[in-house]
Amino acid sequence: MTTHLLISLWASSLTQVQKTCIMSSKSNVFMTGVTGYVGGSVLSRLLQHPDGPSFSITVLVRSEEKANKLKDFGVNPVVGSIKDVALLEELSSKADILISLADSDDLAMGQAMLRGLKRRYETNGSVPILIQTSGTGVLADGSAGDYSGDVIYNDDDPDQIETLANTQQHRYLDLALVQGDKEGYVRVYLILPSNIYGLATGKLVDAGIQNPRSIQIPSIINASLSRGRGGMVGAGKNIWNDVHIDDVADLYVVLYDSIKSNPKATGHGREGFYIAENGEHTLYQIGKAIAEDLVARGKATNPEPSTFTDEEINLYFGGSTFWGTNSRGRSNRSRSIGWKPRYTTQDMLAGIKPEIDALISVGGKFSFNAPAPVASG
Ligand SMILES: *[C@@H]1O[C@H](CO)[C@@H](O)[C@H](O)[C@H]1NC(C)=O
Ligand SMILES: *[C@@H]1O[C@H](CO)[C@@H](O)[C@H](O)[C@H]1NC(C)=O
Ligand SMILES: *[C@@H]1O[C@H](CO)[C@@H](O)[C@H](O)[C@H]1NC(C)=O
C-alpha cells in the first residue's frame, strides 16, 4: 500500500518534471524551402514528430499567400527570400536547428546562414545545428549517356569524398559549410538525395502550399509526351541512384533523432555526408518505361526510347545533358544511423505510369514551381 502510494507519487512528480522541461526548453527550428517538394515533406514530418510540441518552427517563404496558409499549421512564417542575406542571417542567428532546403548551390546564402549561426553560438554558447540539402549531382561525371561509370562513392568515406573537385555541382557550397563546422561554432550535416521520384502527398500538398513533383522523371516525361516517343540522352547507358520522396524525408528525421540521441556517433563536418539512395538505374530504363507506357496509351508508336537531338536538349533541358551523367553512391553512413528506405528501383519504374497520369491530367500545364531547386540530385 505504502509502496504503491510512493510509486504513484514518484510517477506524478516525474511527469511534472518532464512537463517543466518540455515547456522551458523550446528548440528554435528554422527552415527554408518548405514550399518545395522535399522541404514540404520534411516539414510535414516534423509537425508529427514526438518532439513536435517542443519545437518553435520558423519558416522563410516568398509567397504571402502561402505564409498565411502555413500559420494554420502552427509554424511562424516570415515572408522573404534566401536572396535577402541580411534577413537570412538574422533568422539563422535565432536558430538552434537550421534545416536548409531551398538551394544547394548559393554560396551567399550559405555564408549568411553561417554568419547567423556563428552569432547564435557567440551569444548563446550552445553549438547550433545546420542540416543542408546537397545532392548526388556532386558525384556527376562527364558522360552524356554514352557510357556507364564505374566509380561508386561511399558516403562513409570522407577521404574518397574529398577527391571530388570543388568545381563539381554543390561542392563549393558544401565545402564552405564544412569549413564552418571545422571552426567549431556549428555542427554541419549534409543530406545528398539522388534522383528523387514519386508524388509527394500530405496536408501541405492538399493545402496547395507544397510542390508535389520532382524534376528529373517529370521533365523526361514532359519531353517524351511532347515529341511522341520516349527519349534519353545519348544511348542512356549512364547510371544514377534513385530514392523515393518519402524515404528522403524520413532521412531528415532519422538524422535529427540520431543527432539528439547519439551526437557522438552521428558524423558531421567532413564526416557529415549522408547520401539518400536505395538502388540504381540506367537512363535507358527510364526512357524505356516511358516509351512503353506511351505506346500503351496510344500516344506513341515506338516502344523503344530514342536519343534526344541537340534541338530537343535545348528545347526541353535548357541545353544541358546533365541527365546523361553517371552519379553513383552508397548510403552506408545514412543506414548506419538507422535509415531504412522502403522503396526500390522497381517501385520507381512502376511509378512512372502514375507520374504520366498526373502530368496528362494537368494537360501539360505545370511548372516545377520549385522554390527548392534541389528536387533531383
Ligand atoms: C540558448 O538557447 C537555448 C535554446 O533556445 C535557450 O533555452 C537558452 O536560454 C539560451 N541561452 C542563452 C544564454 O541565451
Ligand atoms: C559501402 O559502400 C561501398 C561502395 O563504395 C561498398 O563497396 C561497401 O561494401 C559498403 N560498405 C558497407 C559497410 O556497407
Ligand atoms: C513541357 O514541354 C513543353 C513543350 O511541349 C515546354 O514548352 C514546357 O516548358 C515543358 N514544361 C516543363 C515544366 O518542362
d(Cα 115, Cα 340) in Å, to the nearest integer?
Answer: 34
Name which of 257, 300, 251 is nearest 277 in CA terms: 251
The residue whose CB lies within 8 Å of the most ligand 2 atoms, and thus the one to mutate among 136, 152, 154, 159, is: 154
- Tally the residues of the chain: 377
Residue 367's pLDDT is what?
60
The predicted pLDDT at position 14 comes to 41
Residue 268 corresponds to which cell in the numbers above? 558531421
CB 184 within 8 A of CB 117: no
CATH number of the domain that 237 lies in?
3.40.50.720
Q: Which residue has its alpha carbon closest to ligand 2 atom 2?
A: 154
Give the range of the structural domain holding residue 104, as residue numbers without chain letter.
26-375
Q: How far is the CA of 216 from the centre of ligand 2 (A)?
A: 26
Nearest protein Cα to ligand 1, atom 4: 27
The answer to the question of residue 371 being in a domain is yes
Residue 13 domain flag: no
Please tell me if the CB atom of residue 25 comes closer than 6 angstroms to any atom of ligand 1.
yes
CA–centroid distance, 26 to ligand 1, in Å, is 9
Residues of the chain where predicted confidence (pLDDT) is lower than 50? 1-24, 369-377
Assigned domain for 54 exists: yes
Domain membership flag for residue 18: no
Is 214 part of any domain? yes
C-alpha angle 262-265-268 in degrees, rounded to nearest 5: 105
Terminal alpha carbon distance of the chain: 63
Number of compact structural domains in the chain: 1
How many whole angstroms separate alpha carbon 174 and alpha carbon 131? 11
For residue 14, tell me if it sits in a domain.
no
The C-alpha atoms of residue 204 and residue 38 are separated, in whole angstroms, by: 11
pTM of the full structure: 0.90
Ligand 1 centre distance from Cα of residue 109 (Å): 25
Nearest-atom index, ligand 3, CA of 368 = 13
Q: Rounded distance, CA 311 to CA 227, Å?
A: 12
pLDDT tens string 281-322: 999 999 999 999 999 999 999 999 999 999 999 999 999 999
From residue 280, how far is each of 2, 196, 240 by CA, in Å? 63, 11, 5
